[in-house]
């Protein structure tokens, strides 16, 4: 039986393989996206911390300016015992050196203390008060005030003088701007945030790498100092909110500008860079963060989602099987409607459908076959032998024509072959060939043969099929009368 449709359907196995391939790609994409989002959350955490630190520096600066403007009563020098060391030419006080000192910070200045400074020594208790207010939020970060008028540094850190003597020579208005890159960058950050952030550098007091958040102190139209907060680079480890799986199987590093070594925020086992995401903080451009994810991380995320994948494959397979069963049922019902039960050939219902699916300009030729003296075979040998004869005719037609040709049992012992894109001469020659094969080949073990008559015609493009069929039928009738003589 020839098929008019040649649609190929995926097997369930192929469908599952294809679905699994798509799911693996989707898992890889989502895994990488999740890892990127996790790093983005870490970036947000760092950004919030920097903004909070900058906000505190600005608030500290504003309180200081209000204090300078209001000019409170001067504290007694005994309360703020500023001492001058002639040998080193510095003035200072420190809670570690001055045990009776009520202040918490460390002061160190260059030269002999100015009279104006002694009149303004109320600044230091106010700074202590400001910093004690901020300390619970800033934890390990050091707060300080640098004054360029009187060349001193007052820091919350409790430091030994021997460690900080060398800082005095550096107290100039460019002390921190020189560590922050270009003047344009500093101006842009101050304009946008009200503070700026330096690149990393090694702090002379604590001998650790830090970045400084600076809010310039402008008083009476003069840059008199900087209010700042030092952030040790190690502090950023405490902001690490990355998932444990990412920490274990990925590498996340923070490379601060001017820092020799990056911070390993996540130091998982990564053999090679499969996927790499490099980002720069949109806030202040102080660091690059690089994410490197290992294949192991992808596999672990895949295992986490394996149950979902299995359920999805079951759903996809079930839906496919349902659709395929419905399609096959419809195909079976259609095949029953257009198929002859005895011979397996199409019945005449297929003709209209086949013609509607072909271009109108395709050539169409027809051969009709009719068994000669078929009734005597049934009467003599029985209907089972007669059925064998009909099946023999059907099989011969089906096996000796193209897949695009239609082999049809019209009913009883009448058969039809419809050819598409075949010339009239080819059809005539094939009619003779098919007739000879039918007649020359026995159709059962007893060597019985059957003879057939045939007729043929060619349908013109503007002609209906029924008209061409009638002409083939007339040709068959005449042929049957003349016994194999073609008209």
Q: What is the pLDDT of residues 74-123, one digit of tens each?
A: 555 555 678 888 888 888 886 655 555 667 788 888 888 888 887 777 78
pLDDT band at 3 (very low <50, low <70, confident <90, very high): very low
Q: Strand, coil or helix: what is 293?
A: strand
pLDDT band at 6 (very low <50, low <70, confident <90, very high): very low
- Asked if residues 134 and 156 have their Cβ atoms less than 8 Å apart, the reply is no
CB atoms within 10 A of CB 291: 25
Q: Strand, coil or helix: what is 195?
A: coil
Give the span between the Cα atoms of 352 and 68, in whole angstroms: 103
pLDDT at 139 over 80: no
pLDDT at 473 over 80: yes
- Asked if residues 367 and 429 have their Cβ atoms less than 8 Å apart, the reply is no
Enumerate the H helices of 71-170 as residue ranges.
Answer: 115-119, 123-138, 161-164
CB atoms within 10 A of CB 315: 11
Mean pLDDT on 213-242: 91
- Asked if residues 453 and 372 have their Cβ atoms less than 8 Å apart, the reply is yes
% of the chain at pLDDT higher than 90: 21
Structure tokens of 107? Answer: 């002061």
**pLDDT for the residue 487:** 36
Strands, E assignment, 328-451: 364-371, 406-411, 414-420
Structure tokens of 105? Answer: 């910070």
Residue corresponding to tokens 């101006």 = 187
Distances (CA, A) of 239 to 39, 144, 199, 235, 288: 12, 23, 19, 7, 16
Query: What rounded mean pLDDT belongs to the chain?
Result: 81
pLDDT band at 304 (very low <50, low <70, confident <90, very high): confident
**pLDDT for the residue 325:** 76
Q: Answer with the residue of higher pLDDT: 487 or 259.
A: 259
pLDDT band at 299 (very low <50, low <70, confident <90, very high): confident
CB atoms within 10 A of CB 303: 10
Q: Strand, coil or helix: what is 433?
A: helix
- Asked if residues 236 and 198 have their Cβ atoms less than 8 Å apart, the reply is no
Cα dihedral 27, 33, 36, 41 in deg (nearest 10): -110
Q: Is the dihedral of CA 431, 437, 439, 440 positive or negative?
A: positive
pLDDT band at 237 (very low <50, low <70, confident <90, very high): confident
Q: What is the pTM of this model?
A: 0.60
Buried b (16+ CB within 10 A) or exposed e, 8-47: eeeeeeebbeebeeebeeebbeebbebbeebbeebbebbe
Structure tokens of 333? Answer: 């019902």
pLDDT at 453 over 50: yes
Mean pLDDT on 155-182: 73
> CA angle 167-173-174, nearest 5°?
80
Q: Strand, coil or helix: what is 177?
A: helix
Mean pLDDT on 472-479: 89
% of the chain at pLDDT higher than 70: 81
Q: Strand, coil or helix: what is 172?
A: coil
pLDDT band at 332 (very low <50, low <70, confident <90, very high): low
Give the distance, in angstroms, between the CA of residue 294 and the centroid of all CA atoms in the same chain.
17
pLDDT band at 133 (very low <50, low <70, confident <90, very high): confident
Q: Strand, coil or helix: what is 327?
A: helix
Mean pLDDT on 443-468: 88
- Asked if residues 256 and 233 have their Cβ atoms less than 8 Å apart, the reply is yes
Strand partners, 152: 109, 147
pLDDT at 403 over 70: yes
Q: Answer with the residue of higher pLDDT: 133 or 84.
A: 84
């Amino acid at each position: 039986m020839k098929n008019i449709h040649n649609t190929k359907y995926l097997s369930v196995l192929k469908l599952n393989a294809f679905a699994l391939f798509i799911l693996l790609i989707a898992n890889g994409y989502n895994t990488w996206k999740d890892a990127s989002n996790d790093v983005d959350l870490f970036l947000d955490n760092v950004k919030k911390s920097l903004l909070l630190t900058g906000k505190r520096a600005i608030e500290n600066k504003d309180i200081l300016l209000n204090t300078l403007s209001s000019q409170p009563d001067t504290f007694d020098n005994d309360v703020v015992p500023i001492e001058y060391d002639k040998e080193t030419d510095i003035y200072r006080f420190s809670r570690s050196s001055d045990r009776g000192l009520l202040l918490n910070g460390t002061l160190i200045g260059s030269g002999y203390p100015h009279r104006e400074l002694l009149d303004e020594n109320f600044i230091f208790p106010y700074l202590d008060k400001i910093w004690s207010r901020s300390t619970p939020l800033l934890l390990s970060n050091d707060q300080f005030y640098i004054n360029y008028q009187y060349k001193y540094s007052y820091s919350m850190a409790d430091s030994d003088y021997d460690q900080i003597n060398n800082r005095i020579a550096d107290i100039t208005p460019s002390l921190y701007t020189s560590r922050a890159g270009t003047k344009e960058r500093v101006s842009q950050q101050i304009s946008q945030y009200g503070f700026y952030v330096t690149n990393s550098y090694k702090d002379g007091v604590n001998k650790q790498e830090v970045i400084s958040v600076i809010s310039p102190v402008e008083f009476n139209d003069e840059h008199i100092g900087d209010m700042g907060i030092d952030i040790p680079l190690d502090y950023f480890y405490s902001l690490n909110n990355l998932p444990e799986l990412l920490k274990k199987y990925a590498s996340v590093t923070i490379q601060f500008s001017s820092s020799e070594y990056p911070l390993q925020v996540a130091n998982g086992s990564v053999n090679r860079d499969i996927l790499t995401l490099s980002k720069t903080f949109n806030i202040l451009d102080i660091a690059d963060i690089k994410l490197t994810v290992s294949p192991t991380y992808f596999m672990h995320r895949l295992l986490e989602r394996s149950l979902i994948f299995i359920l999805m494959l079951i759903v996809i397979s079930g839906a496919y099987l349902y659709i395929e069963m419905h399609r096959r049922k419809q195909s079976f019902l259609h095949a029953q409607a257009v198929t002859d039960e005895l011979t397996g050939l199409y019945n005449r219902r297929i003709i209209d459908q086949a013609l509607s699916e072909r271009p109108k300009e395709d050539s169409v030729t027809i051969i009709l076959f009719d068994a000669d003296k078929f009734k005597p075979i049934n009467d003599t040998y029985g209907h089972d032998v007669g059925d064998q004869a009909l099946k023999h005719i059907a099989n011969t037609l089906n096996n000796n024509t193209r897949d695009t040709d239609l082999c049809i049992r019209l009913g009883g012992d009448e058969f039809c072959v419809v050819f598409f894109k075949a010339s009239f001469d080819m059809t005539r020659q094939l009619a003779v060939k098919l007739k000879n094969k039918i007649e020359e080949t026995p159709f059962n073990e007893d060597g019985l043969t059957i003879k057939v008559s045939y007729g043929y015609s060619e349908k013109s493009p503007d002609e209906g099929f029924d008209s061409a069929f009638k002409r083939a039928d007339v040709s068959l009738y005449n042929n049957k009368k003349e016994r194999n003589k073609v008209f």
